[in-house]
């Protein structure tokens, strides 16, 4: 486990909920997404450089990505192209692995009685399928997806909706994000946000407003997470 604090942490408000992004935070699905989007666009006769695919990794809704690369599309085209891309994604991976330590960290939070949710730009069907495959769907009190909001990240409404679903005010919740647009969405909703840097430089997450940075979830305890975000545990939470 490697983590860096952006600033000195002091005792703060109670932590009542934690909201996870999905891709790049719970599961390491970015390589499969890059492959699927590049192949999908190639089939349509549009070659894109690897750097152009960074737009895909910034936590945006599928329809926003389609119009970014292909221009204005009608509803039938969005549905048809979306299905094509999803089929390529599932062909690219037989199993999407969890981010290192994510499964164990979520289990610790669940056993400690902390309310946890997912807020992802992914579709409802893909989100539930992935979480079921890795055995984590039952651990979350709510799963909010891009299908449920009109605008994707960095718009904050998906995080506001997630907080509503788990009955906590945004200032008592923390988001976990690996994309700058996701960090801005969480901060815009009034939440603290921990950036998950993975193997990338954390500077883009810090610049977007992340309050702290984790490289991964390896060996981080519940009490260490409270210290990282500067928020107090509820009395009923057990520090594992």
Domain that holds residue 59: 30-92
Percent of the chain past pLDDT 70, that is, above it, reads: 91
CA–CA dist 210, 229 (Å, integer): 10
Residues 55 and 132 in one domain: no
Residues 135 and 24 in one domain: yes
Spatial contact of 209 and 179, defined as CB atoms under 8 Å apart: no
pLDDT at 33: 75
CA–CA dist 147, 169 (Å, integer): 23
237 pLDDT band, cuts 50/70/90, is very low
Say whether pLDDT at 22 is over 80: yes
Q: For the chain, how far is it from start to end, CA to CA, in angstroms? A: 15
DSSP-based three-state secondary structure for 151: coil
239 pLDDT band, cuts 50/70/90, is very low
Give me the phi and psi of 90, to 5 degrees please: -70, -25
CATH of the domain at 67: 1.10.150.240
Residues 124 and 206 in one domain: yes
Task: Look at the chain and report how many structural domains it folds into.
Answer: 2
Q: Has residue 38 been placed in a domain?
A: yes
Whole-angstrom CA distances from 52 to 48, 58, 155, 227, 235 are 6, 11, 22, 37, 47
pLDDT tens per residue across span 93-118: 666 788 999 999 999 999 999 999 99
Say whether pLDDT at 129 is over 80: yes
User: Domain end: 52, 71, 92, which one?
Assistant: 92
Percent of the chain past pLDDT 90, that is, above it, reads: 56
CATH of the domain at 195: 3.40.50.1000
Say whether pLDDT at 1 is over 90: no
pLDDT at 37: 84
User: Domain end: 62, 92, 122, which one?
Assistant: 92
Q: Is the peptide bond before 174 cis (omega within 30 degrees of 0)?
A: no
pLDDT at 8: 39
Residues 133 and 210 in one domain: yes
Say whether pLDDT at 5 is over 60: no
Max Cα–Cα distance, the chain, nearest Å: 58
Residues 88 and 129 in one domain: no
The bridge status of strand 212-214 relative to strand 3-5 is antiparallel
Task: Supply the pTM of this predicted model.
Answer: 0.78
With a CB cutoff of 8 Å and minimum separation 6, the contacts of 154 are 59, 180, 181, 182, 184, 185, 188
pLDDT tens per residue across span 137-163: 999 999 999 999 988 899 999 999 999
Q: Has residue 136 been placed in a domain?
A: yes
pLDDT tens per residue across span 47-75: 888 888 878 777 678 888 899 899 999 99
Say whether pLDDT at 238 is over 80: no
pLDDT at 186: 98
Whole-angstrom CA distances from 205 to 44, 198, 208 are 33, 11, 5
Q: Has residue 108 been placed in a domain?
A: yes
Average pLDDT value for residue range 79-90? 84
Q: Has residue 238 been placed in a domain?
A: no
Say whether pLDDT at 9 is over 50: no
Query: Alpha-carbon Rg of the chain, whole angstroms?
Result: 17
30 pLDDT band, cuts 50/70/90, is confident
Residues 21 and 127 in one domain: yes
Say whether pLDDT at 177 is over 90: yes
Say whether pLDDT at 226 is over 60: yes
């Amino acid at each position: 486990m490697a983590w860096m604090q952006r600033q000195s942490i002091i005792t703060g408000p109670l932590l009542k909920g934690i909201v996870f992004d999905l891709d790049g935070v719970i599961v390491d699905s970015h390589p499969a997404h890059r492959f699927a989007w590049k192949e999908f666009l190639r089939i349509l006769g549009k070659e894109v450089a690897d750097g152009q695919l960074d737009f895909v990794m910034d936590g945006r809704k599928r329809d926003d990505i389609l119009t970014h690369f292909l221009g204005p599309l009608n509803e039938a085209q969005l549905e048809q192209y979306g299905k094509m891309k999803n089929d390529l994604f599932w062909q690219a991976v037989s199993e999407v692995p969890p981010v290192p330590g994510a499964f164990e960290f979520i289990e610790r939070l669940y056993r400690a009685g902390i309310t946890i949710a997912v807020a992802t730009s992914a579709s409802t069907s893909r989100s539930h399928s992935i979480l079921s495959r890795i055995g984590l769907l039952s651990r979350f009190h709510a799963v909010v997806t891009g299908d449920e909001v009109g605008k994707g990240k960095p718009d904050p409404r998906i995080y506001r909706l997630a907080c509503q679903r788990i009955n906590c005010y945004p200032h008592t919740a923390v988001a976990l994000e690996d994309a700058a647009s996701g960090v801005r969405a969480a901060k815009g909703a009034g939440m603290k946000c921990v950036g998950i840097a993975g193997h990338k430089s954390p500077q883009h997450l810090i610049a977007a407003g992340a309050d702290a940075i984790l490289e991964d979830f390896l060996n981080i305890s519940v009490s260490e997470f409270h210290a990282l975000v500067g928020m107090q545990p509820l009395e009923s939470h057990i520090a594992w």
